[in-house]
Chain A
Amino acid sequence: MTRFPGAGPTSSQTPLSRAPSGFLPSTRDGLRHVEHVMGMPVMFDICDSELEVAALSAAVDWLHWVDASFSTYRGDSQISRLNRGELTAGELHPDVSAVLERCAELHQETDGYFDIEAPYRRGGSAPAAGRGGARSIEPSGFVKGWAVDRVVRMLRDAGAVNFMVNASGDIYAAGHPDGAGAWRVGIQHPRLSNEVALTLALRDGAVATSGTQARGRHIADPFDERGPTGLLSVTITGEDIATADAYATAAFAMGAQRAAKWCAGLNGYDAALICEDETVLMTAGFKAARV
């Protein structure tokens, strides 16, 4: 039985301290913390001075639980065991099932461009087939955003109002950064080192960017081996990080022409496409949010 931190008593051997050494006073009232989990740095900037440190500890515990349960780099994770055919769909933790259902929905919404089977289909090493039901899925990208969305809810439930979480470039910002105004989020320039290309005012919303700049061409077009063309990066804003990130990943894989048409039809989410000719295509909502 997998322990579910954040929804019950925490592990008995290491009760959470009220002031673990990883959390510290920030530049202003509140907490600032960097946690390295799921292979990425997750930065917390919490402005509410009254928030209990234990709330942040619970959020961090949750991220480590997700890492253990979902990572395809861990042989004992539920995803790895599902891929080997050692677990059936019915034996999965409800959260794991929910993630896979949402991934299937996003596959439909993105005309197949968001595809958690693509990494294996394109030259990746598929896991050895186990007994019946073996799968070849790699949902890690979606899981990171989904986990941070849950962390946002946990912080809100604990009373946090003004805070920001940056998980390896995907961001959720809530309330105000300095008692007033909106969080200003820079969008990384895809070609120029050390530069911001666009700045957004963000309040109670998510931003996710996909592109070539950080990890090389890690996004595969599931329908074309040559990979996507015409785009340097795609930024999506909206209600939750997981959806924004999946949309950004899918739109980037589509390439410029298809992505432009697809993004123009988004509902509840906005987009900015940075093209290889260094033009930017923006939806009306994105343009309105620019600083």
Chain B
Amino acid sequence: MNKSLPLAVVALGAAAAAGAVPATAAAANKTTKYTGAKETYKYGSLSVSITVANKKIKTISTSYTPNDPRSSQIDSEALPQLYQEALKLQGWDVHTVSSASFTSAAFRQSLYSALGHADLLKK
């Protein structure tokens, strides 16, 4: 039972306690996105991104690349009860992201590397 997992502690603790000055003295309220290394696991690869403002984490999100993307056409029969539209990108102005499930190990590795980029790891 690893309930005292150091993961989040390291990140936010360093920011709160040490108050280390970031390498680039970012203006107050400026939000910067840091993306962790792509980590491979059984079914593909993932990377974790964090957004940081004032040395504190605002959002954590994850993206994936599957090993086996499929491509077959669907016989698209638009149903009267459903609305249909083209898929398009919506950007990252979100608090969290819903996705198919993912595993802990790759997530943790990638998050650590994103924290490293953001200079939030305890030295």
Contacts and interface: CB of A to CB of B under 8 A. Distances in A.
B4 to A, nearest CB: 5
B79 A199 contact: no
B82 A169 contact: no
Contacts of B13: 24
Contacts of A191: 69
Interface string B80-100: 011111111111111111111
For the side of the interface on B, what is the size category? 35 or more
B9 interface: yes
A27 interface: yes
Contacts of B91: 196, 199
A41 B104 contact: yes
B56 A27 contact: yes
Nearest to A17: B4
A198 to B, nearest CB: 6
B74 A256 contact: yes
B66 A40 contact: no
A188 B92 CA distance: 10
Nearest to B104: A36
A275 B72 CA distance: 10
Given A194-B63, A257-B77, A214 B43 contact: yes
Contacts of A276: 70-74
Contact of A233 (B82, B96, B100): B100
B51 to A, nearest CB: 10
B96 A186 contact: yes
Determine which residue in B63, B89, B93, B99 has the highest number of CB atoms from chain A within 10 A of its CB, and name it. Answer: B99
A170 B63 contact: no
Nearest to A231: B74
Nearest to B61: A186
A279 B9 contact: no
Given A183-B95, A192-B89, A170 B101 contact: yes
A242 B68 CA distance: 27
Interface stretch (A94-102, A116-124, A128-136, A258-266): A258-266
A196 B70 contact: no
Interface in B17-72: 35, 42-44, 46-47, 49, 53, 56-58, 60-72
Contact of B100 (A21, A39, A196, A210): A210
A108 interface: no
Contacts of B94: 184-186, 196, 199
21 contacts: A24-B13, A24-B16, A27-B58, A36-B7, A166-B98, A171-B96, A185-B97, A194-B49, A196-B97, A199-B90, A209-B98, A214-B64, A215-B101, A215-B102, A216-B42, A230-B74, A256-B74, A256-B75, A256-B76, A276-B71, A278-B87
A277 B78 CA distance: 13
B90 A196 contact: yes
Contacts of A60: 3
A83 interface: no
Nearest to A215: B43
Nearest to B92: A196
B9 to A, nearest CB: 6
Interface string A37-79: 0011101010000000000010011001000000000000000
Contacts of A168: 101-103
A218 B101 CA distance: 10
A193 B96 contact: no
A283 B42 CA distance: 33
Given A21-B9, A34-B8, A197-B89, A211 B100 contact: yes
A184 to B, nearest CB: 5
Contacts of B1: 64
Contact of A214 (B6, B56, B69, B102): B102
Nearest to A230: B74
Contact of B97 (A34, A35, A169, A280): A169
